[in-house]
Structure 1
């Protein structure tokens, strides 16, 4: 059988890293300086990190702006990593770039992503679309599907939402999220907050609400995307609840509260 030339092949290194080539054009900027302009990036997964990162050939990086790190961190990444400070007209960004301790990845550099670590570059683009938080995982799928299921949400015995026209958001490795029409949610029982979060697959959740009723209910339990990314446009303006902290009933069946990577952060 002939393998399509665009087929991805996941490869492993002795250090426990996984990597595969990407065909996306990726750029990264610091201020008005383009530091990365790559048409041959690699996606790399570290054992302790659930999301991928990019590695770029040195020839596609402004290495003239990199200096050996003055105060390199320890224990943040796999193996013996060499760090570099980034020096531009806007100043020095410590530990912005690094190598990978793997022969397969020799000659490549990775950068910290500013919205995850507080350092690194300001903006990242795949083709002409800005991306946030971390690179999108090609093995993760996110689908927003309109439905006629009957969804009811309860908090401490109070029904706070009831609808028969949800949009179900299916995201690999996460529980189904139910995005509900605003008119079917008792927003009078909640208080708007100034919290916001970013997602590489959905965009910016720019509206959050907290429960007014007290009790052991985490803050910011409801969220909404005013301008989601085009791939999930069906959730625009709808409201979703953390399954981990509310009582969800779907078509008459009470769902168990899942344990997810978000569970630890849901604290009163």
Structure 2
């Protein structure tokens, strides 16, 4: 029996890589060219990585588009043995693909996602649904729940939001995010920015920055104008980074959490 059975269970390689087979049909494209078309993808978590990536059997990859890397990077990805450049429509993408040394993953190739690293394949699909930034983690939940809690948000002593009808988003590994109707937010105190981010669980977010001078980082407020169906309840609602503002819930001040976003949520930095 192949070591890559379709049973859903996490395995660990001697290099510390976690992996498990997936039953999803996954395709990856560069522009209009399909580079990967796989019914047997493998989800891979590298040591210290917060999100997974996919690796694919070689026979489900357009290897004719791969070239041995001209300038393979050092120290990226866990013990990578071989890097490849990707040649598509006259464009050469350096180090867009690689292999892992783990015996369990022999015969598999992984790819960069342009939505996450700025290079690699730019369109990914699970079944017929396009996904963004990185694969969805099957061990992670994202729940958007309508609530009647009293949520207040303050910046430098100014109440910028006050609602009894928030939607609370519970996402594994992150603090609760409080999504607030626009009518309950002092949006006149903020200015829209050109910043946007993509999330495989929620969609594409638009951002606003604080107009005041309280040392608040830019893009502290965001909204999903067209969220994915699983979190449709947050459509056009507004949320603040708990890490950068003061939030009170049912009269109880909330501690500012320490998360992966703290390093970038500093005045003068962008997200």
- Place the TM-score, normalised by the shorter chain, in its bin: over 0.9
Map of 1:93 onto structure 2: 93
- SS of the aligned residue for 1:231 comes to helix
* Deviation sequence 1:47-82 (CA, Å, 0-9, x none): 031110001000100111111111111111111431
> Structure 1 stretch 217-226 or stretch 87-96: which is displaced more?
87-96
* Deviation sequence 1:220-245 (CA, Å, 0-9, x none): 11100000001000000000000001
* Deviation sequence 1:95-114 (CA, Å, 0-9, x none): 11100110000000000111
Map of 2:201 onto structure 1: 201
Q: Structure 1 length normalisation: TM-score?
A: 0.96
Map of 2:73 onto structure 1: 73
- Quote the Cα distance in structure 1 between the aligned partners of 2:166 and 2:54: 35
- Quote the Cα distance in structure 1 between the aligned partners of 2:155 and 2:233: 26
Map of 2:82 onto structure 1: 82
Task: Tell me if 1:51 matches 2:84.
Answer: no
Q: How does 1:78-157 map to 2 (within 5 A)?
A: 78-157=78-157
Q: How does 1:1-268 map to 2 (within 5 A)?
A: 8-205=8-205, 207-268=206-267
* Deviation sequence 1:101-138 (CA, Å, 0-9, x none): 10000000000111122211120000001111000100
User: How far is 1:90 from its partner?
Assistant: 3.2
User: How far is 1:203 from its partner?
Assistant: 0.5
- Quote the Cα distance in structure 1 between the aligned partners of 2:160 and 2:119: 40
CA contact (8 A) 1:58 1:107 kept: yes
- SS of the aligned residue for 1:263 comes to coil
CA contact (8 A) 2:180 2:237 kept: yes
- Quote the Cα distance in structure 1 between the aligned partners of 2:24 and 2:123: 16
- The alignment yields a C-alpha RMSD, in angstroms, of 1.1
User: How far is 1:6 from its partner?
Assistant: 6.7
- Quote the Cα distance in structure 2 between the aligned partners of 1:24 and 1:162: 42
- Quote the Cα distance in structure 2 between the aligned partners of 1:84 and 1:105: 17
Runs of 4+ in 1 over 2 A off after TM superposition: none
Q: Structure 2 length normalisation: TM-score?
A: 0.95
User: How far is 1:147 from its partner?
Assistant: 0.3
- SS of the aligned residue for 1:139 comes to coil
CA contact (8 A) 1:98 1:109 kept: yes
CA contact (8 A) 2:55 2:108 kept: yes
User: How far is 1:88 from its partner?
Assistant: 2.0
CA contact (8 A) 1:31 1:122 kept: yes
The size of the alignment, in residue pairs, is 263
